[in-house]
């Protein structure tokens, strides 16, 4: 058993199934201060300073917050390098939140198309209209007001406060969670206790360091050095002196093993459930509800589905990842949801009586 002692009250977490060995974590208050000076030195030499949303110092609050918000929404579930082109393209056409608020989805879609997660695009427009109409074009600084805006959750709210307004806050996403968990607990699989997060946040708020600088530095460190896979991490190159992950050479970080069940995806027929906001479902048959079926493909499945609806029906659709794999009469099938983004569908429409997850196997109701 490994024991980690931080000097206040007792707390124990033990899960050999998850971490490979029991880990006793005690005394989560009065933890040592994080080594921000070492992080800043690392950032100066290695940081991703080419990212366009990092260079907003000369802008006023409204302009800066708009660009921070835009980048943060685009970065949700998407790698930074892929976002740059979309960020520049959208800003070139819609340089202010007012210009974005004044457009409609069909006009906006070609500039966003290809980034995926298309509910983000609709939330962007809805949020822009509220900020332009109710807040005079400037994003609020109050976290409660930010979280009420479409598409903005707790992390994005704190990111806007940190990067746009330099309010001394830490925007805890998976990157910050990983870096602090490894630093204090020795493993990214050991989650930070809420009290520990509060202590870390409180210490940072009193540190005097720029929230804009530190949040960006931690994200860069998580992406470039402290990668998810500990294999290949050079512990000697870590900028920290007291990091437990470094001190134990990553030995505390043991992932739970997942079963590896093979399924012949490339030999599977494609079942596509076409819908609008999971409220309206489109049928390939006029007689009764039926999803759309495509033959197996060796190519990218999502692109294959998109090309089919574009060529056959003149529709642009977004395609979600495969959500079901199963055998039907010994034949493999994979199922996925697709949503129409542009174009006019000419299919029979249905609503589901059993919910979206069962639309393929239940009795939908005709609309």
Q: What ranges do the domains of the chain cover?
A: 2-247, 265-366
Q: Which two tokens stand for residue 300?
A: 């990218």
Q: Which two tokens stand for residue 227?
A: 């990668």
Report the interhelical angle of 80-93 vs 61-75 (nearest 10°).
130
Q: What CATH number should be reported for the domain whose range is 2-247?
A: 1.10.340.30
Least confident piece of the model among 94-108, 203-217, 239-253, 286-300: 286-300
Tell me how many degrees the CA angle 86-154-57 measures, rounded to the nearest 5.
Answer: 50
**Half-sphere exposure (Cβ direction) of 233: Cα atoms closer than 13 Å:** 23
Percent of the chain with pLDDT over 90: 74
270 backbone dihedrals φ, ψ, rounded to 5° = -100, 120
Tell me what pLDDT residue 15 has. Answer: 38
Q: Which two tokens stand for residue 14?
A: 């033990």
Instruction: Give the distance from CA 148 to its chain's centroid.
Output: 18
Assigned fold of 265-366: Nucleoside Triphosphate Pyrophosphohydrolase (3.90.79)
pLDDT, the chain, mean: 87
Q: If you average pLDDT over residues 276-295, what whole number do you get?
A: 90
Total residues found in the chain within this entry: 367
- pLDDT tens for residues 115-171? 887 888 999 999 999 999 999 999 999 999 999 999 999 999 999 999 999 999 999
Distance between CA atoms of residues 53 and 190, nearest Å: 31
Q: If you average pLDDT over residues 195-220, what whole number do you get?
A: 96
Tell me what pLDDT residue 224 has. Answer: 96
Q: Do domains 2-247 and 265-366 have the same CATH topology?
A: no
208: left (phi over 0), alpha (psi -120 to 50) or beta: left
Tell me what pLDDT residue 118 has. Answer: 81
User: Does residue 226 contact residue 179 with C-beta atoms inside 8 Å?
Assistant: yes
């Amino acid at each position: 058993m490994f024991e980690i002692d931080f000097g206040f009250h007792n707390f124990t977490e033990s899960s050999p199934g998850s971490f490979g060995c029991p880990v006793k974590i005690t005394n989560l208050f009065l933890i040592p201060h994080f080594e921000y000076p070492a992080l800043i030195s690392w950032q100066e030499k290695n940081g991703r300073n080419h990212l366009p949303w990092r260079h907003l110092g000369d802008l006023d609050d409204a302009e800066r917050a708009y660009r921070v918000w835009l980048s943060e929404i685009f970065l949700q579930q998407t790698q930074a390098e892929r976002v740059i082109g979309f960020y520049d393209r959208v800003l070139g056409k819609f340089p202010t939140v007012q210009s974005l608020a004044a457009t409609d989805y069909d006009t906006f879609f070609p500039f966003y198309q290809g980034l995926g997660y298309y509910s983000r695009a609709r939330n962007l427009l809805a949020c822009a209209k509220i900020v332009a109409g109710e807040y005079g074009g400037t994003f609020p600084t109050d976290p409660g007001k930010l979280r009420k805006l479409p598409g903005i959750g707790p992390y994005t709210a704190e990111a806007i406060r940190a990067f746009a307004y330099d309010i001394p806050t830490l925007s805890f996403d998976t990157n910050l969670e990983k870096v602090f968990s490894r630093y204090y607990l020795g493993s990214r699989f050991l989650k930070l206790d809420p009290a520990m997060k509060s202590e870390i946040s409180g210490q940072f708020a009193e540190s005097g360091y720029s929230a804009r600088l530190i949040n960006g530095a931690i994200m860069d460190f998580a992406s470039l050095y402290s990668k998810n896979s500990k294999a290949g991490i050079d512990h000697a190159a870590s900028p920290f002196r007291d990091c437990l992950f470094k001190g134990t050479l990553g030995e505390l970080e043991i992932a739970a093993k997942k079963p590896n069940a093979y399924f012949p995806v490339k030999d599977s027929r494609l079942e596509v459930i076409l819908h609008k906001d999971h409220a309206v479902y489109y049928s390939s048959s006029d007689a009764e509800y039926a999803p759309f079926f495509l033959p197996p493909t060796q190519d990218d499945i999502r692109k294959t589905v998109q090309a089919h609806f574009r060529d056959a029906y003149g529709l642009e659709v977004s395609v979600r990842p495969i959500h079901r794999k199963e055998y039907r009469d010994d034949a493999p099938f994979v199922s996925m949801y697709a949503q129409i983004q542009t174009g006019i569908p000419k299919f029979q429409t249905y609503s589901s009586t059993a919910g979206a997850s069962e639309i393929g196997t239940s009795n939908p109701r005709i609309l």
